[in-house]
Each structure stands twice: as C-alpha cells, then as structure tokens.
C-alpha cells in the first residue's frame, strides 16, 4: 500500500510518505496543499491521512474545490482518505486564526454521487457538490472525539455516552474533533 501523510507536521509516520509545507518538520516531500497539481500520479495512493490540515485551506470555494479534486485524482478507486478536523463548535477551531473552513458530516455527504442522486430524485434543496466538483466519496467511518473534560465525566460515571451525544448537539466544547474516513469511488 502506498500511503500519504499530507500536512504531516511533526507527526511523521514510518509507513507513509510524509509531506508538509513547513520544512522544519523535515518532510520527505515539501508541498503546499494550496498549489495543485501535486506531484503524484493519477490513482497512485491507497490511503491519505490529512490530520488537522483541511481547516487551514480553502477559504475561497475554488481553492477548496481544487484541493478536493486533487485528493480524488491521486487516490485509487476504493482508496481511503482519513480526515481529522477540529469540530466547529469547539474553542480549538475558533482560537486559531489560520482556521478558515469548518466541516460537518454533511460537508462530505455532499461529495457523494449516490447521495446527490438521491437528493436529485427527491428534488431536495442541497448543493450537488459531487457533480459540481466531479468527485465521488462515500463516508465509511465517522467518529466524534470528545473533549477531555467530558471524557473524564463519562469515565467517572457522571454521564453516559447517549447523554453526551445529546449534549454535543446543543452545547459548545463537547466534541473536540471530527474524524471522517472517505472511500474514493471511480470512475465518476
């Protein structure tokens, strides 16, 4: 398997090609995610990890679109893209002035051709981003990483996971991070 750790920072991984735009991280490949076309071939990668990267790029939709299209281009059919981003209702998202884009699971559902087809069939009012971008990703895993404060309350038995999920839907600083794994489906 060929794997890419895109925006590796100091989290270099032995079984990945480590790429970052910050040379002090000593990446194997110096790359700016904003400047597409990346040096990878079409369908070259089996797995891409973007950990705390996508929230920093794509303030302008065209830039975001180009990045998602590039991820789609370089990932093999049935390959996976693992995305870690801060939750938009957590202080870690809003505290960093370099964070320019927030994400929810719906962001990635909009990049699913089958989901777009269902919305078209129902005449639903959603952006058909899979068609607009020419990408097709299916969510195969979605995890919410809870803030340490809430995990400690759960560990002490003060709160149950179902209650925590309900609180997370209406309160800030409960979910710290979203971890989403997408499967690439080709051809479009």
Distances (CA, A) of 183 to 25, 49, 112, 133: 28, 12, 10, 16
Q: What is the pLDDT of residue 159?
A: 97
Instruction: State pTM to two decimals.
Output: 0.95
Q: What is the pLDDT of residue 166?
A: 96
The strands making up 137-146's β-sheet, listed across from edge to edge, are 29-30, 17-20, 3-6, 45-51, 75-86, 175-184, 137-146
CA–CA–CA angle 48, 51, 52 (5° rounding): 140
pLDDT in tens, 156-166: 999 999 999 99
Q: What is the pLDDT of residue 120?
A: 97
Confidence of residue 170 (pLDDT cuts 50, 70, 90): very high
Sequence-ordered list of residues with C-beta below 8 angstroms from that of 173, at least 6 positions apart, any chain: 89, 90, 91, 147, 149
Q: What is the pLDDT of residue 151?
A: 97
Query: What's the distance, CA 129 to chain centroid?
Result: 15
- The label of the residue with tokens 């202080």 reads 91
pLDDT in tens, 60-118: 999 999 999 999 999 999 999 999 999 999 999 999 999 999 999 999 999 999 999 99
pLDDT in tens, 120-161: 999 999 999 999 999 999 999 999 999 999 999 999 999 999
Q: What is the pLDDT of residue 8?
A: 97
Confidence of residue 178 (pLDDT cuts 50, 70, 90): very high
The overall average pLDDT reported for the chain is 97
């Amino acid at each position: 398997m060929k794997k890419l750790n895109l925006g590796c920072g100091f989290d270099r991984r032995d079984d990945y090609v480590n790429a970052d735009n910050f040379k002090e991280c000593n990446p194997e490949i110096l790359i700016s995610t904003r400047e597409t076309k990346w040096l990878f071939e079409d369908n070259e990668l089996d797995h891409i990890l973007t950990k705390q990267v996508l929230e920093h790029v794509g303030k302008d939709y065209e830039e975001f679109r180009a990045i998602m299209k590039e991820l789609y281009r370089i990932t093999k059919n049935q390959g996976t893209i693992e995305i870690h981003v801060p939750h938009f209702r957590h202080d870690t998202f809003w505290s960093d002035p370099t964070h320019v884009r927030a994400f929810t699971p719906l962001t990635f559902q909009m990049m699913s051709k089958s989901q777009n087809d269902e919305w078209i069939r129902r005449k639903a009012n959603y952006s058909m981003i899979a068609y607009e971008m020419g990408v097709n990703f299916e969510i195969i895993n979605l995890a919410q990483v809870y803030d340490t404060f809430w995990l400690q309350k759960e560990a002490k038995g003060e709160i149950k996971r179902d209650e925590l999920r309900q609180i997370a839907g209406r309160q800030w600083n409960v979910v710290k991070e979203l971890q989403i794994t997408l499967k690439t489906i080709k051809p479009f």
